[in-house]
Amino acid sequence: MDSYVVDFDKLNEYIRSIKTEDIILDGHVSHYLNPDYIVVLRANPLLIKNRLESRKYLPKKVKENVEAELLDVCLIESIEKNDESKIFEIDCSEKGPENIVNEILMFLDSKNPEYGNVSWLEDYFYLIE
């Protein structure tokens, strides 16, 4: 699997040039792109582990993703790079797409940030080697 280095200034410039209406950016680096709002989707680390293993990810990549979830990496980066009033966090472990979309829409309507309620460390610290 190839990986690339993102030039965030160029990507921000490109997105501003094509933005004519609301757009949704998805990915592990989207919080670096000066978004209006950030939704951090979380999942149980064991669920992530099982999903990635079933997709034949290399053990190193599985470990990186599980540890990132355990340590709140995407949430912390979002908080460090953005105004906290833009951030909404959802535990998607046992929710279907429709439920998740409804929660996102409610957040966008209310503009009430909510994060810091998802923590896996106490239950799954043993997964960090």
In a domain, 72, yes or no: yes
In a domain, 15, yes or no: yes
The 10 Å CB-count burial string (b at 16+, else e) for 109-122 is eeeebebeebebee
The listed range with the strongest mean pLDDT (11-20, 33-42, 58-67, 112-121) is 58-67
In a domain, 3, yes or no: no
Question: Which is more confidently placed, 32 or 42?
Answer: 42
In a domain, 2, yes or no: no
In a domain, 18, yes or no: yes
- Residue from 80, 81, 87, 79 nearest 107 by CA: 87
pLDDT score for 126: 80
Sequence-distant contacts of 18-22: CB under 8 A, at least 24 apart: none
**Domain total for the chain?**
1
101: domain CATH number is: 3.40.50.300
Confirm whether pTM is higher than 0.95.
Answer: no
Across the range 63-71, mean pLDDT stands at 94
In a domain, 1, yes or no: no
- Tell me the average pLDDT of the chain: 89
Query: Whole domain around residue 116: which residue ranges?
Result: 8-127
HSE-CB at 123 with a 13 A cutoff on CA atoms is 7
Spatial distance between the Cα atoms of 73 and 76, rounded to a whole number of angstroms = 5
